[in-house]
């Protein structure tokens, strides 16, 4: 399903389909059918009624527009849907219609339906994450020895490897997925509490029905109904926020590396991708833009969800009604950021020669730290720091290489031999533990 035009930059077709009208209605109907089967197995309603309800619990033929309008008046979609399902059952088997939604309440339907949709989303997220993670691992290995500028506060800094930068993305995204997957697994619980969360209407059959319902839906049965305890779903929202933030960090880095003045790495292009409506020369970071947009939206949505957690007593006024749309937006934006960056990682272009040129264009001033450390062993750090400050200033003002400036300062040549000064700006000789850190990031397991 294509997203609505107003949302086409806030979701993807796959994630939009999870929360489309028919999908939501079917999840709600799946609850009703499973409830009927569970109650029949516990002897609460006749088996014939469960069969009739199950046969009628299919989303096709329900009028989503009419249900939406009626839901506005009822305060929940569950009420008009249960009425419509009851009428459909009555038309096929009048004696079974009275057993529709037996002992349940509206929020049981809507909450469990959301859990079922989240389960679908989890499978899709898991597959997309695995694809992204594998692409990042492969790219990091490929560029383990590709040297580039480090950049701090957007300014040139001592060199790193592109493989380490990619491994940094990999590590944060992997950790984010561990949190998100754990939150999603914890949220896979049925909601079934009846009017006040006690299942009093089912008497001594309450627990057997609840257990059977959870089994029918392949969900866990929580310790108690959770109508106004929203912590599990809140944890999903928060984990989405962190995960999306890590995806956005990767997008920010790639988009900055794509700048014309930098031109070191590029997201994949193609027909209709990355162009401009007015400037034919443009190669815009579109996938990164989508991930960054999601990264901008999700924190506010998460805050909105958390703000509504204080539900009143045994059933909320407003909080419950507000959160489903919010959570659906959080998950869809997370999915959009994920598929966008999976596309980037799979087709990432790298210009290693440009990376080396950008290092050379600094005329070696990024190696001032290295020179300072070497001089500091003999002259002390404070003296060495002042010498290098002056040398860097000369390099910038005169356009000379830092090594040439250093070679002309007697106080420095008296300590460092000419051969050592000449090799100070070899980027591959000043990478520290970059490769160790890269391998450790990739070796971490879930």
Q: Where exactly are the structural domains of the chain?
A: 1-104+194-222, 107-191+226-350+431-446, 365-424
* The pLDDT of residue 278 is above 50: no
- Residue 296 has φ and ψ, to the nearest 5°, of -75, -35
The answer to whether the pTM exceeds 0.85 is: yes
* The pLDDT of residue 272 is above 60: no
* pLDDT one-digit tens code per residue, 80-119: 999 999 999 999 999 999 999 999 999 999 999 999 999 9
* pLDDT one-digit tens code per residue, 306-319: 999 999 998 888 88
C-alpha count within 13 angstroms, C-beta hemisphere, residue 303: 5
Count the neighbouring beta carbons within 10 Å of the beta carbon of residue 262.
Answer: 16
The DSSP annotation for 329-349 comes to: HHHHHHHHHHHHHHHHHHT-E
Confidence grade of residue 4 (pLDDT, cut at 50, 70, 90): confident
Residue 189 DSSP symbol? B
* pLDDT one-digit tens code per residue, 229-254: 999 999 999 999 999 999 999 999 99
**Residues forming a β-bridge with 273:** 270
Q: Known catalytic residues?
A: 276, 315
Token couple for 38: 């569970």
Confidence grade of residue 3 (pLDDT, cut at 50, 70, 90): low
Q: Is the separation of the CB atoms in 166 and 139 below 8 Å?
A: yes
* The pLDDT of residue 269 is above 90: no
* pLDDT one-digit tens code per residue, 31-83: 999 999 999 999 999 999 999 999 999 999 999 999 999 999 998 999 999 99
Token couple for 48: 């014939």
Token couple for 222: 């929580």
CATH assignment of 365-424?
1.10.40.30
Output the pLDDT for position 276.
42
CATH assignment of 1-104+194-222?
1.10.275.10
| Assigned architecture for domain 107-191+226-350+431-446 | Up-down Bundle (1.20)
């Amino acid at each position: 399903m294509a997203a609505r035009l107003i949302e086409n930059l806030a979701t993807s077709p796959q994630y939009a389909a999870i929360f489309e009208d028919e999908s939501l209605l079917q999840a709600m109907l799946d609850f009703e059918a499973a409830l009927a089967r569970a109650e029949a197995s516990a002897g609460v309603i006749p088996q014939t009624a469960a069969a009739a309800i199950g046969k009628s619990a299919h989303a096709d033929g329900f009028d989503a527009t009419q249900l939406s309008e009626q839901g506005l008046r009822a305060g929940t979609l569950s009420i008009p849907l249960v009425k419509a399902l009851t009428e459909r059952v009555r038309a096929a088997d009048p004696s079974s219609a009275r057993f529709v939604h037996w002992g349940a309440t509206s929020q049981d339907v809507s909450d469990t339906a959301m859990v079922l949709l989240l389960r679908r989303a989890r499978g899709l997220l898991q597959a997309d994450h695995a694809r992204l993670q594998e692409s990042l691992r492969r790219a990091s290995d490929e560029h383990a020895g590709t040297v580039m500028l480090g950049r701090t506060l957007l300014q040139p800094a001592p060199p790193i490897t592109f493989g380490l930068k990619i491994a940094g993305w990999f590590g944060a995204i992997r950790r984010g997925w561990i949190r998100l997957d754990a939150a999603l697994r914890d949220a896979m619980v049925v909601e079934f509490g009846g009017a006040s969360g006690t299942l009093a209407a089912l008497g001594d059959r309450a627990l057997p029905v609840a257990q059977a319902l959870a089994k029918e839906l392949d969900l866990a049965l929580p310790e108690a109904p959770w109508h106004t305890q929203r912590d599990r779903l809140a944890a999903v929202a928060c984990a989405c926020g962190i995960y999306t933030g890590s995806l956005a960090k990767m997008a920010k880095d790639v988009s900055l590396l794509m700048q014309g003045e930098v031109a070191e790495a590029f997201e994949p292009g193609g027909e209709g991708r990355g162009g401009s409506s007015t400037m034919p020369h443009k190669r815009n970071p579109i996938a990164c833009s989508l991930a960054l947009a999601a990264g901008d939206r999700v924190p506010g949505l998460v805050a909105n969800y958390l703000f509504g957690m204080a539900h009143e007593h045994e059933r909320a006024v407003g909080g419950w009604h507000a959160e489903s749309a919010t959570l659906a937006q959080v998950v869809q934006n997370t999915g959009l950021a994920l598929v966008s960056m999976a596309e980037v990682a799979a087709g990432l272009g790298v210009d290693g020669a440009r990376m080396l040129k950008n290092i050379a264009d600094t005329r070696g001033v990024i190696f001032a730290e290295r020179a300072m450390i070497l001089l500091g062993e003999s002259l002390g750090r404070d003296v060495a720091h002042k010498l290098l400050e002056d040398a860097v200033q000369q390099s910038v003002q005169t356009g000379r290489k830092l090594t040439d400036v250093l070679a002309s300062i007697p106080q420095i040549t008296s300590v460092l031999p000419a051969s050592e000064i000449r090799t100070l700006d070899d980027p591959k000789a000043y990478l520290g533990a970059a490769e160790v850190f890269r391998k450790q990031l990739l070796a971490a397991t879930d």
